Amino acid sequence: MTGLSVASVHVYPVKGLRGLSPAQARLWPWGLEADRRWMITDPQGRFITQRTCRDMALINAVPTQEGLELGKANMPPCSVRFPDTNAPVRSVTVWKDTVQARDAGEDAANWLTEVLAQPCRLVWMDTPQHARLRHLDQADVPVSFADGYPLLVATTASLADLNARLPVGQAVPMARFRPNIVVQGATPWAEDSWLRIRVGAAILRILAPCSRCVVTTIDQTTAEIPNPKEPLATLAAFHRTPKGVMFAQNARVEQPGTIEVGAPVTVLDCGPSNLQAEA
């Protein structure tokens, strides 16, 4: 397959908050630089996302040399410093995983508690290479605070095909699916058969389709839900398995490198659709 390239790159500095679209980003074994190294939890350490708090979509999170800048319209910003080695270490949960992370302090917690109208803490994963190892593809793979895999890969062609099937006037942008790397030039759903791809100098191994949830119904610019059924209902009609409604592919990093917009993408190995393996 030829003519493939990177259409966009996306990082989400704080899990569940607005993402950024840099022209390039360094790719590490645990994912893109600055991607989901911070996470919001409740006081018991359970992770909070847009699944239960869709106003998270309204908060900007921008990495700085000192840490992070949080912002929301009509609110004073909150500057957060990287927690130092004296900061409390907390046990936090991401689905079934328990992770050790450093607490980011009272100012960040109070700011988020006010903005989201529920008790919140902010934590930082200072050692992603050790903090969370998941057994993926017969190996222990470091993962950030992402749901389960280091990376999510989507294609513009599959989104275009989905949008062509949606009711008139209800097309959705790629932001609804919160991918890390978006590839252009493929045929619709070609990514379901990819096994290994080269992206610039990096090599990724595709592991499993991504099961989608209610976050795909949330407008990422307003936090509103225009249609609580879409795009999930349409996607379920033709692209699902017993494990869920699928869009985009989870991946791990086989060879780190720098990912940049416009970089060539080469399919190194492919096979049958992995949706069949999920059936």
* The two structure tokens encoding residue 16: 């569940």
Q: What is the DSSP letter of 154?
A: E
- What are the respective helix, strand and coil percentages of the chain, to the nearest 5? 20, 40, 40
**Cβ pair 5, 265 in contact under 8 A:** yes
**Cβ pair 145, 99 in contact under 8 A:** yes
Q: Which residue in 197, 169, 195, 167 sits closest to 182, CA to CA?
A: 197
pLDDT at residue number 2:
63
Mean pLDDT (whole number) for 166-183:
97
H-only helix segments in 127-219: 128-131, 156-165
Distance, CA of 168 to CA of 68 (rounded, Å): 40
What is the chain's mean pLDDT, rounded?
Answer: 96
pLDDT at residue number 137:
87
Is the pLDDT at 59 greater than 60? The verdict is yes
Q: Please name every residue paired with 182 in a beta bridge, in sequence order, or none if there are none.
A: 8, 154
Is the pLDDT at 172 greater than 60? The verdict is yes
**pTM of the predicted protein model:** 0.96
What structural domains does the chain harbor? 5-32+133-270 (2.40.33.20), 38-127 (no CATH)
Distance, CA of 73 to CA of 50 (rounded, Å): 18
SS3 215: helix
Is the pLDDT at 276 greater than 90? The verdict is no
Is the pLDDT at 1 greater than 70? The verdict is no
Q: Which residue in 77, 48, 42 sits closest to 60, CA to CA?
A: 77
Sign for the pseudo-dihedral over CA of 25, 27, 28, 31: positive
* φ/ψ (deg, to 5) at 55: -65, -10
Band (pLDDT 50/70/90 cuts) for residue 75 is very high
pLDDT at residue number 279:
57
